[in-house]
Chain A
C-alpha cells in the first residue's frame, strides 16, 4: 500500500444510530419495491442484489484476505447448475437450494486444497482458468447439463419471491461483513493479507481460515446463482461461466474500493445502474462496453474511488470511505506503570535446557546453509549468535521457528520435537521471533499489529480484550503516539520497536531476536539492551540474539555462539570467543591473527 494513503484513521464514527436508521430505511424501501408494480424496476433491482451478493462474497477472499480469486463466478455457475438440475428432477425449491449450497460448498472445499498452494499471480491465473474449464464441462457433460441447449426450468412467476430472497441474502452478506471484521477470524484474514508467513509465526493457523473463507464465499456465490437461475428459469454455459460476465461484479467492487465497508455496496449500485442504462441505450456493443469499463477501472482506480483524497473532504462520502478497523484506540486497561507488561512471570530453571538442536542441517539444493549444528541453551540464558553475513544465522532462526523444515536433524523445545508442529504451533508453544527487516502488518494499525498475536496465542483472547491488552505493549515500545497509525507509515526505528513488541505479544518462552539493533543510534541500542535484560530478569524469557554490534552483546549476553558457513565454530563467553583463531579469521581475515584485540569489546 502506498505511504501517501491515510496514515491516521478517522475517529470512531459517531453516527451509529443514524447509520442503523439509514440502513433500516433503505431496507424498508427495497422491501416495498415489489409492491410498486413495476416489473422492469423489480428485475433491475434483482440484478443489483445478485451483483452485490457476488461482489461482497468475492471481497471476503480478496479485500479481506488479499487473494484475487478471479474464478469466483464458477461458484455462481455451479450453484445455478446444481439448483436447476435438482429442481428439474422434481425436488422442491428449498431442497434444491440447500442441495446447490451443499455441493458448491463441497466444491470450494475440494478446490481450496490445490488453489491455496498458490500465491499472487499464480493464484489469480489458476482461478481464472477454472472458468473455461467449467464451461467445457458444462458444454460436454450433456447427460447432466444438457450441453449447449442449457437447462429450462419449470415456468413459474417467481420474480417477487426471488427478489425478496435475494434481498435477505444481501442483508445477511452485509451483516456477515460487519461480523467478520469483529471476530478473530477477520483478524486472521487481515494478517494473511499482509504477510502470511508472519501471520503463522505469531500463531495464526492459516490453512483452516483460508478454507473457511473460500467456502463461505462460495456458499453466497451459489445462492446468487441458484436465485438467478430460479428467476430466469433458464441457464446455459455461456451465461454462468462466460468470461465477459464473470469479471463484472469484481470490477464493480474494485471501482468503489475493495476491502472497505461500503465499497462493494457503492460500487455495485453505481456500476449496475450505469450498465443498465447502457444496455437500454446502446445496442450491439455490450461486450466492448463491459471491456472498456473494466479496463478503465483497472487503469485508473484499482484501489477504488472511495480511497481518493477528495472523497475524504466531502461530508456525506467520507463516512462511506470507512475502512475496517474495529475497536480502534480501545482505551481501557492502559497499564499504570509503563514497565509492567501483561506477561506471565516464568521461573527460569537455569539447569534445564529449553532449546536443543541436534545435528540440524539445512540444505538448499547443493548449498548447505546450516551444517550439522548441535547446541543446547538453558532456560533464562541470553545467548548471542554471531557470524559474518551469510553464515546461516537467520536460516538457523528459520529452522527453529518452523519457517524452514530442516533437511536433517532435530530441534527440541522444552523436550518436544518441533518437527511435529507447524509454524503457528511452534509460536503457541512459546517461540517468538523478530525479522531482520521488520515485517509489520502494513495496512493495520500499530495496536492491531500487537493485538493479533494476543488473539492467537496459547491463551486466545477476544479481539476487544486483545486490543485493550495491546496498549501495554504499545506503551512499552514507546509507540503510544502512533497507536492508531498504520504500521507502514512508521519510521524504520519505530518499525523495529513494533517488531520487538509484537514478538513479545506472542508471550514467548524463547525469543529469537534478529539484528534488531543494527542501524539504531547508540542511545536506542542501549534501550534495546535494557529491554532484553528486562525480559529475562523479570519474565524469565530465554533470548537468542543475532547481532553484529559486539558492544551491545557484551552488555547482556551470557555466552555467544559463532557460525561460519553454516558451521558452529565457537561457543563460550564473548571475551573468549572473540579471541578464537577461527572467529578472528572469519571476521577480519587471516591477517588479523597477528593483531589480536582489534575487536571493540
Chain B
C-alpha cells in the first residue's frame, strides 16, 4: 500500500514536471510553429548544470533556479534569432526539414558536450530535508517543495498568459500570426520571446526535476517525446490539458514500473502518442 502511494506521489510530481516541459514546447509550437526536438535536452542540460552548481558551490536550489531561468532565456532568445528565425522565410518543406536538422543537431551537440564536460552518469541534487510522517505515510519535504514549485510556475504562467499584454499577444499570434501583425503585434519578436520563455520554463522545471529524479545528458529526447505526447493529448497551448495529460502519463509510467518492468516505461509514451494520433490525427483538445 505504502509503495503504491509512494509511486502515485512520485508519478504525480513527475507528471507535473512533464506538463511544465510540455507546456513550454506547446507554447513555442503554437506561436512559432517550431517543433523543438532539443526541448527535452534543455532540461537534461539544465539539470546537469544545476546539479554541478549545487555540488560545487552548495548553492540553494531556489537560487540556482533564479539564475538558470534568465540564462536560458537569453541563450534561447539568441538561438532563435540566429538559427531558427531565418528558416521561416523558406518554403514549407525546407523550413520543416531545416528546423528538424537544426534542433536535432543542437540536441546532439548539447548532449555530447554535456557528457564530455560532466560525465555521462546520472546526477541529482542530494538536498537533505526533513520528512513528515503521517501515520504510515511518509512525505518528504523535498516532494512538497517540488509540488509547490510546480503549482507556483503553473499559476504564474496562467496569469501571464491570461492577464498580460505578452500573453494576449502570444494567444493572438497562435491563432493567426499575420492577423496579429496587422493589429500591431510584432510577430517575430513575440515568437523569439515565446521561444525564450518556453525554454526558461524548462530550465526552472529542471531544477525541480533534479531535486527528486536523476538526470543524464542523453535523457532529453525521450522527454521531448513525452512532452509531445502530452501536447497531442492536452491540445496545443492548453495549460490545464497539459497538466492533466502530464499527470496521467507520469502515474502510468510509475505504475508500469511497479506492476511490470520499469524498462518498458519509456515505450509507453510513444505507443500512447501513436495510438492517440491515429484516433485523433489533429490532436485531441485543440484549443488556445
- Give the interface of A toward B (CB within 8 A): 1-2, 62, 66, 68, 70, 113-114, 117-122, 124-126, 128-130, 132-133, 136-137, 139-140, 243-244, 247, 250-251, 254, 258, 284-285, 287-288, 290-299, 302-303
Chain B residues with CB below 8 A from A284, complex form: 116
Chain A residues with CB below 8 A from B112, complex form: 285, 287-288, 291
Q: What are 5 pairs between A and B in contact, CB < 8 Å?
A: A124-B100, A126-B274, A258-B97, A292-B109, A303-B91
Contact B267–A292 (Cβ < 8 Å): no
Which B residues between 82 and 99 are near A, CB-CB below 8 angstroms? Answer: 83, 86-87, 90-99
Interface centre among A137, A247, A250, A296 (most CB of B within 10 A): A247
How far, in angstroms, from A170 to B29 measured CA to CA in the complex? 38
Contact B96–A124 (Cβ < 8 Å): yes
Contact A66–B101 (Cβ < 8 Å): no
Chain B residues with CB below 8 A from A118, complex form: 277, 281
Partner of A294, one of B108, B116, B274, B281: B108
Contact B261–A140 (Cβ < 8 Å): yes
Known contacts A130-B270, A132-B266, A291-B112; A302/B101 CB under 8 A: yes
Taking the complex as formed, is B111 at the interface, i.e. its CB lies under 8 A from any CB of chain A?
yes
How far, in angstroms, from A129 to B93 measured CA to CA in the complex? 20
Interface centre among B105, B112, B228, B274 (most CB of A within 10 A): B105
Contact B83–A295 (Cβ < 8 Å): yes
How far, in angstroms, from A62 to B96 measured CA to CA in the complex? 11
Please, what's the 1-or-0 string for B100-129, where 1 marks a CB less than 8 Å from any CB in chain A? Answer: 111011111101110010000000000000
Interchain nearest-CB distance for A297 vs B (Å) = 6
Partner of B91, one of A2, A139, A297: A2
Interface centre among B98, B228, B261, B264 (most CB of A within 10 A): B98
How far, in angstroms, from A118 to B281 measured CA to CA in the complex? 6
Contact A302–B97 (Cβ < 8 Å): yes
Chain B residues with CB below 8 A from A124, complex form: 35, 96, 100
- Give the interface of B toward A (CB within 8 A): 29, 33, 35, 37, 83, 86-87, 90-102, 104-109, 111-113, 116, 221-222, 225, 228, 232, 261, 263-264, 266-267, 270-271, 273-274, 277-278, 281-283
Contact B278–A140 (Cβ < 8 Å): no
Additional pairs, 7, CB under 8 Å, beyond known A113-B278, A247-B100, A285-B112: A1-B93, A124-B100, A132-B266, A140-B263, A287-B111, A293-B105, A294-B102
Known contacts A133-B271, A287-B111, A288-B113; A251/B101 CB under 8 A: yes
User: Which residue of the partner chain A has the closest CB to B282?
Assistant: A122
How far, in angstroms, from A66 to B91 measured CA to CA in the complex? 12
Contact A132–B225 (Cβ < 8 Å): yes
Chain A residues with CB below 8 A from B266, complex form: 132, 136
Contact B277–A247 (Cβ < 8 Å): no
Contact A129–B270 (Cβ < 8 Å): yes
Known contacts A285-B116, A298-B97, A298-B100; A125/B105 CB under 8 A: no
Contact A292–B105 (Cβ < 8 Å): yes
Chain A residues with CB below 8 A from B221, complex form: 132, 243
How far, in angstroms, from A299 to B192 measured CA to CA in the complex? 17
Chain A residues with CB below 8 A from B87, complex form: 298-299, 302
Contact B101–A2 (Cβ < 8 Å): no
Interchain nearest-CB distance for B222 vs A (Å) = 6
User: Which residue of the partner chain A has the closest CB to B115?
Assistant: A287
Chain B residues with CB below 8 A from A285, complex form: 112, 116
Contact A303–B263 (Cβ < 8 Å): no
Contact B99–A298 (Cβ < 8 Å): yes
How far, in angstroms, from A293 to B282 measured CA to CA in the complex? 33
Chain B residues with CB below 8 A from A1, complex form: 91, 93
Contact A295–B93 (Cβ < 8 Å): no
Chain A residues with CB below 8 A from B83, complex form: 295, 299
Interchain nearest-CB distance for B13 vs A (Å) = 23
Interchain nearest-CB distance for A279 vs B (Å) = 15
How far, in angstroms, from A287 to B113 measured CA to CA in the complex? 9
Contact A243–B104 (Cβ < 8 Å): yes
Chain A residues with CB below 8 A from B37, complex form: 128
User: Which residue of the partner chain B has the closest CB to A296?
Assistant: B105
Contact A125–B228 (Cβ < 8 Å): yes
Partner of B278, one of A68, A117, A290, A293: A117
Contact B102–A114 (Cβ < 8 Å): no
Partner of B277, one of A122, A244, A298: A122
Known contacts A137-B267, A247-B101; A295/B225 CB under 8 A: no
Chain A residues with CB below 8 A from B99, complex form: 298
User: Which residue of the partner chain A has the closest CB to B98?
Assistant: A302
Contact A120–B105 (Cβ < 8 Å): no
Chain B residues with CB below 8 A from A303, complex form: 90-91, 94
Contact B104–A294 (Cβ < 8 Å): yes
How far, in angstroms, from A137 to B228 measured CA to CA in the complex? 20
Contact B97–A136 (Cβ < 8 Å): no
Known contacts A137-B267, A285-B112; A298/B91 CB under 8 A: no
How far, in angstroms, from A137 to B9 measured CA to CA in the complex? 28
Contact A140–B102 (Cβ < 8 Å): no
How far, in angstroms, from A204 to B266 measured CA to CA in the complex? 40
Interchain nearest-CB distance for B107 vs A (Å) = 7
Interface centre among B37, B86, B93 (most CB of A within 10 A): B93
Chain B residues with CB below 8 A from A120, complex form: 92, 96
Contact A290–B108 (Cβ < 8 Å): yes
How far, in angstroms, from A129 to B240 measured CA to CA in the complex? 25
Contact B264–A68 (Cβ < 8 Å): no
User: Which residue of the partner chain B has the closest CB to A255?
Assistant: B101
Partner of B109, one of A126, A254, A295: A295
How far, in angstroms, from A125 to B106 measured CA to CA in the complex? 16
Chain A residues with CB below 8 A from B222, complex form: 132
Known contacts A124-B100, A297-B101, A302-B94; A136/B264 CB under 8 A: yes
Partner of B35, one of A121, A133, A291: A121
Interchain nearest-CB distance for B165 vs A (Å) = 28
Contact A122–B281 (Cβ < 8 Å): yes
Chain A residues with CB below 8 A from B274, complex form: 114, 126, 129
How far, in angstroms, from A120 to B104 measured CA to CA in the complex? 17
Known contacts A295-B83, A302-B95; A287/B108 CB under 8 A: yes
User: Which residue of the partner chain B has the closest CB to A247?
Assistant: B104
Chain B residues with CB below 8 A from A298, complex form: 87, 97-102, 104-105
How far, in angstroms, from A131 to B77 measured CA to CA in the complex? 30
Chain A residues with CB below 8 A from B98, complex form: 298-299, 302
Interchain nearest-CB distance for B1 vs A (Å) = 29
Interchain nearest-CB distance for B21 vs A (Å) = 15
Partner of B105, one of A140, A258, A294: A294
Interface centre among A120, A244, A251, A298 (most CB of B within 10 A): A298
Partner of B97, one of A68, A113, A288, A296: A68
